[in-house]
Structure 1
Amino acid sequence: MTAITSRFVGRPVSAALGERPEAHDKWALVDDLTVAASDFGLSHRAIAVLRIMLTFVPDRDLPARAGKSIVFASNATLSTRLGGMPESTLRRHLAALVQSGVIARFDSPNRKRYVKRLGDGIACAFGFDLGPLALMAGDLRRQAAKHTRRLEEHAVLRARILSARQSLTEMLLAQDIDPEGIHAHSPLLGRARLFLRRKDNNEDLRTLLADLETALETPEMIVSDSEIERHQHSKKNNNSESDLLPSTPVDLDVTVQSFAEYRKMFPNGPRDWQELSQHAAQLVPMMGIDGPVYEEAKRFMGAHIAPISILCLLERFDTIQNPGGYLRHLTKQSRNGKFDIKKLIRMTNEGVR
């Protein structure tokens, strides 16, 4: 009898009896799934759970038919084989496997997992069916091959970018320009530093490589940081800093010391708030943030607070998928009077420890 629940459709294993179906090596299947795990929205811990479930299937070959490979082990048994994984964590990974379609759940009328034997054989069983894994064999192979190709392309792009960056650095040194200083190619080198830390960002790396190659093809004289400093000094003579920038609730020197990523890119740090604002303006395009988005942030946050917000985003750049969207969210909070820069700094420092 087929049992129907509000969550899953149950079916006894005996319902799948018939001619011998196609079968696939279960360990080869899970190896392909491991390679393409991100494409199926699965963590490697979820795949570890799947590997343990496969140990309950006696044959190495997994039949590509629903209902032929039911695992009816309890959560307690699975947890034991997983080295004592908490059952709450186990349930979460099982739900992820079901949601991805890698396994199916066949519930009994009381939603329990169990087996009914007939002599030496199994008459019917309720639990998790691993048949869908074998049914996905072709898709798994294709996705694994595509993912492997992406990784290979990423490695090639990364190697070419490292070489191009080194060539650009040597070109700057030949012009007596400090590559770590402020010059026309500072944003490009900063973007390279950020993107090389990320994974699975081939499109970003292709664009970066093209920009680096363009910079190398046009080796015109570059404005050095000393010239920029003279320009800044002249500008300060015409404009007092107090007129350009409002007061801020945080101390510049103390705040900057808490941002390790910023100090890697600007080892000398800012001499004043105006220079910090200039550094932030260089970071904005490196981080993929549109200029108008940053201008709006400065409008509502203030000319001091907006640059500090950029430093916070830079510190957590590896974990923020959309820096521009995050900055828009912070700007909205500021517009509504709910933004607290000290809280953002504290959360940023706690998050990177």
Structure 2
Amino acid sequence: MQTGDVTTPFGRRSMSLALVKRQMAIKDPDHNTRIEKWKVFRDVCEARERLGIQDRALAVLDALLTFYPHGELDSSSGLVVFPSNAQLSVRAHGITESTLRRQLAALVEAGLILRRDSPNGKRYAHRSRDGEVEQAYGFDLTPLLARAHELAQIAQDVVAERTRFRRTKEALTICRRDVRKLISAAVEEGAPGNWGQVEAVYVGILARLPRYPERAQIDLALDEMQLLRAEILNILEMQLESENMHGNAGQDDRHIQNSNTESIYELEPSSGKEQGGNPEDERQAKSEANGGAKAKPEPIKAFPLGMVLRACPQIADYGPGGRIENWRELMKAAVVVRSMLGVSPSAYEEACSAMGPENAAVAMACILERSNFITSAGGYLRDLTRRSERGEFSLGPMLMALMKVNDPGNRRTA
């Protein structure tokens, strides 16, 4: 039985130094070493990608193992099998001879089997008078026995890596779902924040993932998505803490708002005649304010000024010097726009009371952007005010829609 030495292939098959190195690296296993052949085969199947072989090569290896008569690989029993190509093809599910030859070469290249070629290239065995195989020429399965521990370790690593990859993908899916729903909830409920930029970051993370990503790419995307989720939760947490701090002083804030000499209402004439407003509307508004028959909800938080100006760029034309740099200037510009669009002072005052002066100014900026589609700006603002009082209105979706319309990229491609 020839094992542990270097043999050269028969015929036109060439010999390489790499093949010599692989053969010399295979040490003769101990005579007491035994391993279940199908266990080794399962390990090879798990390690297939690491070994660089295809599923067809596994079918050929499976066929070779069926020609080994024992259930365990044992060097004392001889590890050379010598089936013909026709027999191998049948047991390998009928693959063609050319495919069979390629896959046998792949198994040799992977260091899973060795060729033990006879002088004439045929596969056969010399037997003793008792029928025992003394010398065989064919395919030597010694590498499977010698590398059994190594193959088992590779198989375990592959399984563990596959498990880690699957769990990483699951974690990314959950994190992606969290970010998507948190952004949607924040926009729909009008939470202050630059949600357009957050949305762009979210889309960018997903866009960098290829169709069939590797684990390193999944890990990177998960890290970025987790950071984005933490940032969103941090923004929302700060808003909740701010609301809790000011929640008890909400009613006092509204009284101060209405009595402050620096109030936004004093930035414009209060007479309905001066502004062309309806005196009846003025009396009705004052009657409601003095009667206190209906408590108004606490004004919602204002959105970031930069986000408002990106969504409503036209309002900047009515600011000092044709630009707006702070909320005070935005509220002054909103008063000018209110007068220009024919919105009565009482309607704007009600909007400020229901939404807060900053959000009322933002609403006027949005109405200005959509003025070509709004028949009555005053009626539209009153409708928004009533919906805000009922808790049914949020500026978030309106601003997000205008940001998409006024995005420079969209205007270039339009």
Q: What TM-score do you get using the length of structure 2 for normalisation?
A: 0.49
Amino acid across the alignment from 1:147: V
Q: For 1:64 and 1:116, how far apart are their aligned partners in 2?
A: 17
Residue pairs, 1:17-32, within 5 angstroms: 20-32=31-43
Question: What is the CA-CA distance between 1:31 and the residue it aligns to?
Answer: 0.6
Structure number having the greater helix percentage: 2
Q: 2:216 aligns with which of 180, 203, 210?
A: 203
- Give secondary structure in 2 for the equivalent of 1:218: helix
Q: 1:93 aligns with which of 92, 100, 103?
A: 103
Question: What is the CA-CA distance between 1:182 and the residue it aligns to?
Answer: 7.2
The equivalent residue for 2:168 is 157
**Is residue 2:62 matched to residue 1:51?**
yes
Determine if contact 2:168/2:222 at 8 Å carries over to the other structure. yes
- Give secondary structure in 1 for the equivalent of 2:73: strand
The equivalent residue for 1:185 is 202
**Is residue 2:322 matched to residue 1:146?**
no
**Is residue 2:81 matched to residue 1:68?**
no
- Give secondary structure in 2 for the equivalent of 1:185: helix
Q: 2:226 aligns with which of 180, 200, 213?
A: 213
The equivalent residue for 2:349 is none
- Give secondary structure in 2 for the equivalent of 1:52: helix
The equivalent residue for 1:81 is 91
**1:118-154 alpha-carbon deviations (Å, 9 max, x no partner):** 2212221111101111110110111011111101111
The equivalent residue for 2:114 is 104
The equivalent residue for 1:123 is 134
Structure 2 CA distance for partners of 1:94 and 1:72, relative to 1, 3 Å? same
Determine if contact 2:108/2:115 at 8 Å carries over to the other structure. yes
Determine if contact 1:64/1:132 at 8 Å carries over to the other structure. no
Amino acid across the alignment from 1:54: L
Q: For 1:137 and 1:73, how far apart are their aligned partners in 2?
A: 23
Residue pairs, 1:229-248, within 5 angstroms: 229-232=405-408, 236=412
Structure 1: unaligned runs, 5 residues or longer: 11-15, 237-273, 276-353
Structure 2: unaligned runs, 5 residues or longer: 21-26, 189-194, 236-303, 311-399
Question: What is the CA-CA distance between 1:18 and the residue it aligns to?
Answer: 12
Question: What is the CA-CA distance between 1:190 and the residue it aligns to?
Answer: 3.1
- Give secondary structure in 1 for the equivalent of 2:119: coil
RMSD: 3.5
Structure 2 CA distance for partners of 1:17 and 1:159, relative to 1, 3 Å? closer
Q: For 1:51 and 1:233, how far apart are their aligned partners in 2?
A: 59
Q: 2:45 aligns with which of 16, 21, 34?
A: 34
Q: 1:133 aligns with which of 144, 147, 155?
A: 144
**1:22-51 alpha-carbon deviations (Å, 9 max, x no partner):** 111100001111111111101122112101
Report the number of matched residues. 227
Displaced runs of 4 or more, over 4 A: 1-6, 16-19, 220-226
- Give secondary structure in 1 for the equivalent of 2:187: coil
- Give secondary structure in 2 for the equivalent of 1:139: helix
Determine if contact 1:23/1:134 at 8 Å carries over to the other structure. yes
Q: For 2:227 and 2:216, how far apart are their aligned partners in 1?
A: 17
Amino acid across the alignment from 1:209: L
Q: For 1:28 and 1:38, how far apart are their aligned partners in 2?
A: 18
Percent identity between the two aligned chains: 27
Amino acid across the alignment from 2:219: R
